[in-house]
Structure 1
């Protein structure tokens, strides 16, 4: 997100209302949400649900996957993704470009750019898609 968006004093209340709706309203009943916690503090969140774009054929769209920087490479991001995306199902997502770390994370899990891009609120994004029946490689502990 652009700094102007992050600095907007209305951002946190708006995000709070959004997550309240996701967690309580029937219209989000087909969505899956997951959180990662450390010592009772939320350190990551994921949200997936039906695709809303008319030109896609995947089963599920990953809308949100955020994790505190300190937990990158910990396996928490993978765990969040696995919690909200069906195993073996096709999926799609939008990722900021450039964002090589996130794009590599998704590529490692079978997502590939499909050639579609957009600019949303001043941020260039690339669409990535994972084919059905893709099985993620086993977790590796270092």
Structure 2
């Protein structure tokens, strides 16, 4: 069981339910954020690296995401490929593994670090797109969402 801080109670839910809910809101960001009208799911990766850094989220700082984002001409499936994620990790760990997986594999696993890349489309302007990187750490049961 995993304690989930709720505003109304201190109810505990199974870890599997927690990850299902996190994935639900990640796949449908317009349920939580009214400024988002749609999202384009790019890919979900399992990342395995043993670099000299503390946690994988330390590599994905806002400044580095903005830097890599500015180098792209557009936010599309072609530009946000495996090389985009590799650009963050390769300089710290040359032997890391990056495997593209599906959501069923993500939900069935009990450990590991996963990175999801998607593009959010703004309600105000369909031309305005935002890059979202989500880091799901099943070892510590944490999720970090970064947008640029």
The alignment's TM-score, normalised by the length of structure 2, stands at: 0.23
Task: Tell me which of the two structures has the higher relative contact order, counting C-alpha pairs closer than 8 angstroms and 6 or more residues apart.
Answer: 2
Per the normalisation by structure 1, the TM-score is 0.24
